[in-house]
Amino acid sequence: MLKRRHSDAAVVHILIDGVAVEARAGESAAAAVLAHDGGATRTTPVSGAPRAPYCMMGVCFECLMEIDGVANRQGCMVRVAEGMSIRRQQGARALEREA
């Protein structure tokens, strides 16, 4: 399990797969999910293999998640914001924006 080393930043309320979670201001969506419960954050479009955030610096594209209804966003490149909704992504994204 991953733990936050510094937790003195302000609390930001977000949803992870519909569950209310307290994240910390300044951290990325990917970090928030890892700190919450870790584990896979998506399955791949072709083989369905589980994947999780890896490089945390915008290079590897393993952390793709649905953020505020937009699929395939790089979770490590998006800062959490009050009320943000993050969803783990299963397989290929839909073409249309999720409602």
Partner 1 sequence: MPQSTAPARSKETFDVAVIGGGMIGPAVSLGLLERGLKVCILDEGDDVLRVARGNFGLVWFQGKGFNMPRYVDWTRRSATLYPDFARELQEHTGVDIGHANPGGLELLLGDEEEAHRRHFIGQIYQQGGGKEYEVEFLDRKQVEDMLPGVKLGDEVTGASYSPVDGHVNPLFLLRAMHAHFQQAGGSYLPHHRVSAVNRNGAAYDVLTEAGTVSAAKVVIAAGHGLKQLGPPLGLDIPIRPQRGHILVTERTQPILPMPMSAFRQTAEGSIMLGVSAEEAGYDDGIDTQTVATIARRAARTIPALRNLNIVRSWAALRVLTPDKCPVYAQSRSHPGVYAIASHSGVTLAAVNAKVASNWIAGDPAPEEFDAFGLERFDAQKTA
SS3 29: helix
Structure tokens at 44: 């791949």
**43 touches partner 1 (CB under 8 A):** no
The 68-97 site mask, x for binding partner 1 (CB under 8 A), equals: ----x------------------xxxxxxx
Query: Rule CB under 8 A: is residue 59 a binding residue for partner 1?
Result: no
Q: What is the torsional sign of CA 58, 49, 41, 39?
A: negative
Is 27 or 40 the residue whose CB approaches partner 1 more closely? 40
Q: Which residue's entry shows tokens 């914001």?
A: 81
Residues of the shown chain interacting with partner 1 in the complex, contacts defined by CB under 8 A: 45-46, 72, 91-97
